[in-house]
């Protein structure tokens, strides 16, 4: 029985995580038009940029996909690294499609959060590499779709008011611009 400890030795675990992070970054650049800025990636549009960082939580075997939105009138391009930006959200807070086989009695938001967290976990061997690649395909496809669709302040204003989108924070300066209560 698996005790929940990371599989393999620490060096092997670190290499598996780093390889996954490299693959993630390379695919965002190649497939979605993101650019690199240190360990962050950004996709610049006319009025705003999406900033993304896949990082280890507390240096452990769990990855978290952090996202920020930087409005150009407030953020110069050289500052487009996570956590720079006026709006912050996690990947599972986006309005995303779901894998088709979840069943009718499952809460979609809870399922999405759990499924993504599980896919980004290197805690145990409960997930095979090919299953993790299916999850990576899903994450990349959704990031390309959402960051391609939400490109202007007006798009963002509409996006943050959807009931299936959860933002972590929006700075007080931009809350009125997005129609949020300060």
Give yes or no for a cis peptide into 181 (omega within 30° of 0): no
Contact in structure between 87 and 179 (CB atoms under 8 Å): no
- Round the average pLDDT of the chain to a whole number and report it: 79
Contacts of residue 126, defined as CB under 8 A and 6 or more positions apart, other chains included, come to 2, 118
- pTM of structure: 0.80
- Above 60 in pLDDT, residue 154? yes
What is the tens place of the pLDDT at every residue in 69-99?
A: 888 887 766 666 666 678 888 776 565 555 5
Most confident of the following: 22-26, 41-45, 87-91, 92-96: 22-26
Q: How far apart are CA 52 and CA 43, in angstroms?
A: 9
Contact in structure between 97 and 142 (CB atoms under 8 Å): yes
Q: Supply the pLDDT for residue 33.
A: 94
Q: Supply the pLDDT for residue 2.
A: 36
pLDDT class of 117 with cuts at 50, 70, 90: confident
Q: How many residues are recorded in the chain?
A: 182
Q: Supply the pLDDT for residue 20.
A: 92
- Average pLDDT for 121-143: 82
- Above 60 in pLDDT, residue 6? no
pLDDT class of 151 with cuts at 50, 70, 90: very high
Burial per residue of 54-78, b for 16 or more beta-carbon CB atoms within 10 angstroms, e otherwise: bebeeeebbbbbbbbbbbeeebeee
Q: Supply the pLDDT for residue 75.
A: 74
Q: How far apart are CA 166 and CA 1, in angstroms?
A: 36
Q: Which of 11-15, 40-44, 93-97 has the lowest mean pLDDT?
A: 93-97
Domain edges within the chain: 10-170
Contact in structure between 136 and 23 (CB atoms under 8 Å): yes
- HSE toward the beta carbon, residue 5, CA cutoff 13 A: 5
Q: Supply the pLDDT for residue 100.
A: 58
- Above 60 in pLDDT, residue 150? yes
Q: How far apart are CA 16 and CA 125, in angstroms?
A: 12
What is the tens place of the pLDDT at every residue in 57-67?
A: 887 888 888 88
């Amino acid at each position: 029985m698996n005790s929940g400890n990371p599989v393999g030795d620490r060096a092997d675990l670190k290499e598996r995580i780093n390889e996954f992070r490299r693959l993630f970054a390379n695919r965002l650049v190649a497939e979605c038009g993101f650019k690199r800025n240190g360990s962050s990636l950004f996709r610049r549009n006319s009025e705003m940029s999406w900033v993304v960082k896949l990082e280890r939580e507390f240096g452990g075997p769990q990855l978290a996909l952090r996202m920020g939105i930087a409005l150009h009138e407030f953020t110069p391009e050289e500052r487009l690294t996570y956590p720079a930006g006026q709006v912050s959200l996690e990947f599972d807070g986006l309005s995303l499609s779901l894998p088709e086989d979840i069943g009718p009695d499952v809460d979609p938001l809870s399922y999405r959060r759990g499924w993504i967290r599980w896919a980004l976990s290197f805690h145990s061997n409960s997930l095979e590499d090919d299953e993790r690649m299916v999850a990576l395909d899903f994450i990349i496809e959704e990031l390309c779709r959402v960051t391609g669709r939400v490109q202007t302040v007006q798009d963002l204003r509409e996006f943050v008011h959807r009931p299936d989108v959860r933002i972590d924070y929006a700075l007080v300066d931009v809350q009125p611009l997005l129609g949020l209560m300060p």
